[in-house]
Structures are given as structure tokens and as C-alpha cells.
Copies of this chain bind each other. A is one copy, B any other.
Amino acid sequence: MSSKRDDLLRAAKKLLWERGYEATSPRDIQEASGAGQGSFYHHFEGKLALAVAALEEVSAEMCASATGLLDADASGRDRVTRYLLQTRDGLKGCRLGRFAGDAAINEPELRAPIERYFSVLERYLAKALSDAQRAGELTSKCKPKDLATMLVAIVQGGFVLSRIHRDKDAINRATAAGLALLSEATKRT
């Protein structure tokens, strides 16, 4: 149906990823989408409403990806490994975590889809870690929930360091080290 609406959403998702909320103007989105002022304000109440709709889609996509990796049939240990060893392009940054420093994070409507993703991710990761502990694949005495928070922090902080150092692999070194340390907290047989 409404092709222009989809075009606007697609452009918004792209530009919000690249530049964040503050640095993206409605005009930028109109130009990138090929839609005019009229379409923009016909389909959305304003910039914030469009950003909320865009981030809700991104959140749903990333939730699906994370649960796909973590919900599966493999052992707890393998699920955590699979999540951590995803290859990431650190220069692009996290499509949702990047908003932590954006002034827009203070808008409750915009923060909601972002927080939803991280809550899901941490819960699934904690479950996998808990399974790994019970299976004896992980002997750390840390609470699974705290370990999950720590692992997600490694990913998010990895993006930060990659962008600051202009080194796309900094994040991959950080997650690899996290996984290695986790392995070393594993019972040797």
C-alpha cells in the first residue's frame, strides 16, 4: 500500500543509525526517501513520532535476531558463544545502543523500544548462562543476570571503543576476550 510511508520509515531507520536523532532533520529524511513535506506530516505527527515508529521496527528486528541466536536448541554454553562471536562492524555502532548519549533518550516514547530490546537480550543471555551453570559448562559463581549485563556491556562498550579509535575490530577483540575469560571460568575435565 502506502509506499511513501515505507520509504520514509526505511530512510529514517538508515539515517538514525548513521547520525542519531539530534543530527537527523525531517528534511534529511524527506530527501533520502524521495517523499515531500506533505507525505511526511500526513503519515506521522512529526519527527519524534517517525523516529519512534522506526526504532520500534528496529527493536523488533533485533529482538528477533537475538532470540533466534539465544533461544535455540543448543547447550547454554554454545548459545552464549554463538551470540558473542557474531562478527560486528564496530564503526557502524549499535542501532539502538547509540541513542544512550543522544538527547532524545529522554523522550519516554523513544526510550521504550530501545529498553525493550536490551531487556529481552539480557534475559535470554541470563537464561543461557544459567543453563550453562547447571550443566557444569560454566563454574563462575556470578549471578547469570550480572554476567549477562556484563557481556552486553562488552558489546556496547566495544562499539564505543571501535568508533573512538576508528578501529572496526576493537569490538571483536573485546568480545573474544570476554568469551575466553568465560571459558577459563569453566571446569577443566
Max chain B Cβ within 10 angstroms of own Cβ: one of A20, A102, A150, A178: A150
Copies in the complex: 2
Q: Closest Cβ of chain B: how far from A175's Cβ, in Å?
A: 8
A 105-136 contacts with B by CB, 8 A: 105, 111, 114-115, 118-119
Q: Which of B98, B141, B161 contacts A118 (CB 8 A)?
A: B161
Query: For residue A174, which residues in chain B have a CB less than 8 angstroms away from its CB?
Result: 146, 149-150, 153
A49 on interface, CB distance cutoff 8 Å: no
Given contacts A150-B173, A150-B174, A155-B157, 11 further A-B contacts (CB under 8 A): A23-B103, A101-B101, A146-B176, A149-B174, A150-B181, A152-B157, A153-B154, A153-B161, A153-B174, A156-B157, A181-B181
- Give residues in A with beta carbon < 8 Å to B: 19-20, 22-23, 93, 97-103, 105, 111, 114-115, 118-119, 139-143, 146-147, 149-150, 152-161, 163-166, 170-171, 173-178, 180-182, 184-185
